[in-house]
Amino acid sequence: MSRGVVTSVDGCNEISPILSVREFFDKCRLSLNREALDCQPPDEEISFESLAAALGVQEETVRQLSDICHEDKLVCPARPEYLEDFDVVNDGIPEGVDLMSLREVKRLQEKKKPVKSRAKNEKEINHMPSEELQKMFGTQVQKFEPIEKPEVVLTITVYQANNMRVHREYLFLSSQPLYALRDCVVCDSDNIVSTDHSENPWDTDAQIRNKDVCKSAFLFIENIFYIDKRDPTARDYSRVIMDWASRRSLKTPNVGNMTSRLMEGVTFRDINIRLGFPYLYCHQGSCEHLVIFKDIRLLHCSDPQNRLLYPCMTFRTREYKTRCMICRIYLARWITVNDELAMQDPSFFCKKCFDALHYTEDGQKVCKFEAYPIMNPEKNQEN
- Contacts to Zn ion by CB under 5 A: 161, 187, 189, 287, 324, 326-327, 330, 350, 353
CB of 289 to Zn ion, least distance (A): 6
Going through 249-333 in order, the beta strands assigned E by DSSP cover 259-262, 272-273, 278-283, 287-298, 312-316
- Smallest CA-to-CA distance from 323 within 339, 347, 343, 358 is with 347
| Pick 25 or 279: Cβ nearer Zn ion | 279
Whether the CB-CB separation of 318 and 144 falls below 8 Å is answered with no
Single-letter residue type at 264: E
Q: Residue 148's Cα: distance from chain center in Å?
A: 25
| Pick 268 or 349: Cβ nearer Zn ion | 349
| Pick 187 or 371: Cβ nearer Zn ion | 187
| Pick 5 or 287: Cβ nearer Zn ion | 287
CB of 24 to Zn ion, least distance (A): 29
Q: Count of H helices and E strands in the chain?
A: 13, 13
CB of 80 to Zn ion, least distance (A): 44
CB of 130 to Zn ion, least distance (A): 23
- Smallest CA-to-CA distance from 133 within 288, 289, 315 is with 315
Q: Would you put residue 140 in left (φ > 0), alpha (ψ -120 to 50) or beta?
A: alpha
| Pick 153 or 158: Cβ nearer Zn ion | 158
| Pick 53 or 367: Cβ nearer Zn ion | 367
Going through 265-351 in order, the beta strands assigned E by DSSP cover 272-273, 278-283, 287-298, 312-316, 334-337, 347-349
| Pick 245 or 287: Cβ nearer Zn ion | 287
CB of 350 to Zn ion, least distance (A): 3
CB of 158 to Zn ion, least distance (A): 10
Q: Which residues contact 372 (CB under 8 A, 6 or more apart)?
A: 192, 193, 194, 195, 196, 197, 334, 335, 336, 337
CB of 324 to Zn ion, least distance (A): 3
Helix ranges restricted to H, the chain = 21-31, 34-37, 48-55, 59-68, 88-91, 100-111, 118-126, 131-136, 179-184, 188-191, 210-213, 238-248, 351-358
Q: Strand 166-173 to strand 152-159: parallel, antiparallel, or no bridges (unpaired)?
A: antiparallel
Q: Name the DSSP letter for residue 43.
A: S
Length of the chain equals: 383
| Pick 121 or 380: Cβ nearer Zn ion | 380
CB of 353 to Zn ion, least distance (A): 3
